[in-house]
């Protein structure tokens, strides 16, 4: 039964109709969650004992950084799915996620730079965390332009998927960069193993903002994947009926 | 799983293995060259030649900050070794005693003449009033 469900869902047509069914709910819930969390974080949490008010950009910076890496992992999983089972939808997802990933990485870099000016006293330093995140951004751009440079879509999909898998090595490097090397960037405040080193009154809106931002970015991915389906299946009769 | 898919799985694992081992070897050989700064202990162990521009990071030793007109001097410590820093200019707002700092400067007579002083903060965030009760 699960197999049948996956098979059905993997057809672009079913996917499209399911996306339409759930899109507005996901969007609305995420928008409300993010708006509440960021208002809570910006206006109703106390100042930080060291950084004062400037720490509040955490409610944008951390969600964006988290998503920039999560989206890459999603791309890698889709790539593996495509390469092994040749599921077309997975290939569409890979190229649909790439620009959204580039966008979140860009937000992470910019918000980090803005945060760095009042706290570190600099907006850019070549430490391991910042540099590896910049590499992630360049990788996203490279993957997008590689895919665009092919006129043969199927060839582009295969090459893209292989490159995404090779590039996935950068994700653990970004994650562990602050532990393996000395960096200007601080270590992680939220980890799976230890108690968060961020006070609960600041942590709850942060978790809310990560969840809300996650949902909003998922909405972008859904729209972007719809666009890919339209481009790639434009000659199919069901697409013509849909439009 | 059918044999074609099995072969694809193996080739993906193969590519992963190669990229992981390749990058690991590169990172291993670069080793501490990827470090953003030296600690005072590393500075002592490595015999850095003088007149070389380096970055040193650590904590600002409590009670070591002295200000004279536009010049500020302080000691960076990692609680084992320490090094004196002289800097002319404005330090970041977060710069204070007992907190993190990274300086870029030239090492001369065991003193660093800094060109740039950056504040490094840690991953702890809390409201100001809780800090008092949590002082352990």
Interface A:B, Cβ pairs < 8 A: 118
pLDDT at B135: 47
Whether residue B67 sits in one domain with residue B7: no
In which domain, by residue range, is B108 found?
A: 35-120
pTM more than 0.95: no
Residue A86, Ramachandran bin (φ over 0: left; ψ between -120 and 50: alpha; else beta): left
pLDDT, averaged across chain A? 93
B107 and B86: one domain?
yes
Summarised one tens digit per residue, pLDDT across range A186-229 is 999 998 888 899 999 999 999 999 999 999 999 999 999 999 99
Q: Give the percent of chain A with pLDDT over 90.
A: 85
The separation between CA A65 and the C-alpha centre of its own chain, rounded to angstroms, equals: 8
Does the CB of A199 have a partner CB in chain B at under 8 Å?
yes
How does residue A232 score in pLDDT terms, banded at 50, 70 and 90?
very high
- Number of structural domains in chain B: 2
Is the Cβ pair B92, A165 closer than 8 Å? Answer: no
Q: Are residues B9 and B55 in the same domain?
A: no
In sequence order, what are the residues at sequence separation of 6 or more whose Cβ sits closer than 8 angstroms to the Cβ of residue B98?
Answer: B59, B60, B62
Residue B130 lies in a domain: no
- Mean pLDDT of all residues in A231-238: 89
Residue at B54 is within a domain: yes
Interface check for A182 against chain B (CB to CB < 8 A): the answer is yes
Whether the CB of A173 is below 8 Å from some CB of chain B: the reply is: yes
Mapping DSSP to helix (H, G, I), strand (E, B) and coil, where does residue A193 land? coil
Select from B126, B129, B130, B132 the residue whose CB has the most chain A CBs within 10 Å, as the one to mutate to test that interface: B126
pLDDT of residue B130: 57
Residue-level pLDDT at A139: 97
Beta bridge partners of residue B60, listed in sequence order: B76
Decide if pLDDT at A98 tops 90.
Answer: yes
Subunit contact B99:A173, Cβ cutoff 8 A: no
Residue B134 lies inside a defined structural domain of this protein: no
For A167, nearest residue in chain B (alpha carbons)? B19
Assigned domain for B133 exists: no
In the numeric block, which tokens belong to residue B44? Answer: 């002592």
Let me know if residue B131 belongs to a domain.
no
Domain containing A167: what range? 16-242
Domain membership flag for residue A106:
yes
Burial class (CB in 10 A: 0-12, 13-18, 19+), B48: middle
Tokens of A142: 């490279």
Nearest chain B alpha carbon to A53: B127
Together in a domain, B90 and B24: no
Query: What's the number of domains chain A is made of?
Result: 1
In a domain? residue A3: no
Q: Which of B8, B20, B37 sits opposite A169 (nearest CB)?
A: B20
Residue A1 is predicted with a pLDDT of 66
Q: What is the DSSP letter of A11?
A: S
Token digits of residue B22: 């390749």
B17 and B59 co-located in one domain: no
Same domain? For B108 and B82 the reply is: yes
B85 and B109 both lie in a single domain = yes
- Domain for residue B25, yes or no? yes
* Secondary structure of chain B as H, E, C letters: CCHHHHHHHHHHHHHHHHHHHHHHHHHHHHHHHHCCCECHHHHHHHCCCCCCEEEEEEEECCCCCEEECCEEEEEEECCCCEEEEEEECCCCCCCCCCCEEEEEEEEECCEEEEEEEEEECCCCECCHHHHHHCCC
pLDDT for B131: 53
| Residue A27 sits at the chain B interface (C-beta within 8 Å) | no
CB contact under 8 A, B118 and A184: yes
B32: contact with A, CB 8 A cutoff: yes
Residue partners of A33: CB distance under 8 A and separation at least 6: A208, A211, A212, A215
| Degrees, nearest 5: CA angle B9-B15-B19 | 145
pLDDT greater than 90 at residue B46: no
Q: Mark yes or no for CB contact B92/A121 under 8 Å.
A: yes
pLDDT at residue A241, as a whole number: 86
Residue B86 falls inside a structural domain = yes
**Residues A158-194 pLDDT 10s:** 999 999 999 999 999 999 999 999 999 999 999 888 8
Per-residue pLDDT at B133 exceeds 80: no
Buried b (16+ CB within 10 A) or exposed e, A3-23: eeeeeeeeebbebbeebeeee
At B136, the pLDDT band (50, 70, 90 cuts) reads very low
Question: Which tens digit of pLDDT belongs to each residue from A22-81?
Answer: 999 999 999 999 999 999 999 999 999 989 999 999 999 999 999 999 999 999 999 999
Task: Look at A165 and B12 and tell me if their CB atoms are within 8 Å.
Answer: yes
């Amino acid at each position: 039964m699960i197999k049948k469900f996956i098979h059905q869902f993997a057809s672009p047509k079913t996917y499209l109709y399911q996306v339409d069914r759930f899109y507005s709910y996901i969007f609305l819930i995420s928008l409300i969650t993010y708006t509440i969390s960021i208002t809570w974080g910006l206006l109703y949490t106390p100042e930080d004992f060291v950084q004062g008010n400037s720490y509040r950009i955490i409610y944008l910076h951390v969600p964006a950084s988290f998503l920039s890496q999560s989206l890459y992992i999603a791309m890698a999983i889709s790539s593996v799915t495509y390469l092994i089972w040749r599921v077309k939808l997975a290939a569409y997802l890979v190229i649909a996620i790439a620009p959204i990933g580039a966008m979140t990485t860009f937000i992470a870099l910019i918000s980090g730079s803005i945060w760095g000016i009042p706290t570190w006293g600099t907006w850019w330093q070549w430490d391991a965390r910042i540099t590896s995140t910049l590499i992630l951004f360049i990788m996203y751009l490279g993957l997008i332009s590689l895919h665009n440079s092919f006129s043969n879509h199927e060839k582009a999909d295969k090459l893209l998927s292989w490159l995404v898998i090779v590039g996935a090595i950068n994700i653990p490097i970004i994650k562990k960069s602050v532990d393996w090397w000395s960096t200007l960037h601080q270590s992680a405040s939220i980890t799976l193993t230890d108690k968060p080193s961020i006070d609960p009154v600041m942590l709850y809106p942060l978790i809310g903002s990560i969840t809300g931002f996650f949902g909003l970015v998922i909405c972008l991915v859904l729209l972007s994947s719809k666009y890919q389906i339209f481009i790639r299946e434009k000659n199919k009769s069901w697409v013509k009926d849909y439009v | 799983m059918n044999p074609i898919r099995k072969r694809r799985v193996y080739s993906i694992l193969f590519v992963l293995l190669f990229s992981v081992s390749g990058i690991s070897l590169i990172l291993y050989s670069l080793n501490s060259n990827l470090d953003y700064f030296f600690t005072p202990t590393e500075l002592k162990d490595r015999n850095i030649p003088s007149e070389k521009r380096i970055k040193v990071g650590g904590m600002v030793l409590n009670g070591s900050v002295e200000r004279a007109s536009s010049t500020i001097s302080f000691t960076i410590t990692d609680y084992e070794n320490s090094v004196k820093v002289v800097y002319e200019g404005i330090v970041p707002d977060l710069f204070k005693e007992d907190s993190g700092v990274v300086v870029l400067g030239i090492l001369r007579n065991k003193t660093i003449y800094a060109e740039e002083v950056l504040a490094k903060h840690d991953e702890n965030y809390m409201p100001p009033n809780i800090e008092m009760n949590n002082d352990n």
